[in-house]
Amino acid sequence: MRFARILGTGSYLPERVLTNADLEQLVDTSDAWIRERTGIEKRHLVSEGETCCDLAEQAAWRALAAAKLDPTQLDLILVATTTPDQFFPSTACLLQQRLDVHGCPAFDLQAVCAGFVYALDIADKYIRTGAARYVLVVGAETISRLVDWTDRTTCVLFGDGAGAVVLGASDTPGILSAHLHADGGYASLLQVPGGHGNGQPQRAFIEMRGNEVFRFAVTTLGRIVDEALDYNGLTKDDIDWLIPHQANIRIIQATARKLDLPMERVIVTVAEHGNTSSASIPLALDQAIRDGRIQRGETLLMEAFGGGFAWGAVLARY
């Protein structure tokens, strides 16, 4: 039986940094309030002319190097993003060109903050069915370009970045299972309402009803943790590392309590880059692998929740 295993990871953050002190000069907020309510200390933002594909490319090369894989060996390229460079072609096709890869399928996936776990599930299924041997999965966002920098409730939250994973076929289990859900009935609670498709491009900024999103996220993530563990016949004690979407430290802490996991076993990077949407889990995963915390053979639970609402979890053995 074929399984999909993580062969290498990579990540990239743009050089420009916006601190909480910088935000104090833009809107009525404070460093203390932002840290207490979100856990965020700074975020990285793209510079003028820097694109989502630029970030994705840097992360992809680093993941390919870690996997010791030539890009021409790839059978599929997936880019999870809410902020593509163009309406078309896809950012995945633009990335494919940069990697000098020709012929394999390449496409974008849009599930906002849950995009990376959605993309992992697709990659896993391609590999399990024999349709692919090596897959590049990238989460990349320039989400600061969807931020209304006069809205103090949202502008403190978001940053830009990219993370990537190379998956390869193996006889040893890697991705154990994925559990994906969505409910469009909650779309108005977290959305960018404008776009060319509905003739309202002037409304292309993030709108969020934060308290309602927070309550739904905490409840939903707790349920999906149970779903993933029950499906695999595992208990909370079997989880070595929780790698959550880095949206808000309070949501992360609530999920850790649900698992009875000490925060020492939770990968937390939200302070360093804020909410980078689909990039946040692969950014955190790459950091923890490269600094030696995550070791081969350990069991990882990755979970995310975002606009749609869309949410999901992936249980994997690294």
Q: State mean pLDDT over 183-205.
A: 90
Q: Is 248 a catalytic residue?
A: no
Answer CATH for 3-172 from 3.40.50.2300, 3.40.50.300, 2.30.30.100, 3.40.47.10 = 3.40.47.10
Equal fold, 3-172 vs 176-317:
yes
CB 252 within 8 A of CB 270: yes
Q: Is 52 a catalytic residue?
A: no
The per-residue pLDDT for range 280-291, each reduced to its tens digit, is 999 999 999 999
The predicted pLDDT at position 287 comes to 98
Q: What's the rounded Cα separation, in Å, for the pair 64 and 67?
A: 5
Q: What's the rounded Cα separation, in Å, for the pair 236 and 152?
A: 37
Which one of the listed residues 52, 53, 93, 113 is annotated catalytic? Answer: 113
HSE (side-chain half, CA atoms, 13 Å) at 107: 6
Which one of the listed residues 20, 53, 248, 275 is annotated catalytic? Answer: 275
Q: How confident is the model at residue 201 (pLDDT cuts 50, 70, 90)?
A: confident
Whether 16 shows a pLDDT value over 90: the answer reads: yes
Q: Is 198 a catalytic residue?
A: no
Which one of the listed residues 44, 179, 245, 273 is annotated catalytic? Answer: 245
The per-residue pLDDT for range 28-56, each reduced to its tens digit, is 999 999 999 999 999 999 999 999 999 99
Its CATH class, for the domain covering 176-317, is: alpha beta
How do the domains of the chain map onto residue ranges? Answer: 3-172, 176-317
Q: What's the rounded Cα separation, in Å, for the pair 113 and 117?
A: 9
HSE (side-chain half, CA atoms, 13 Å) at 148: 16
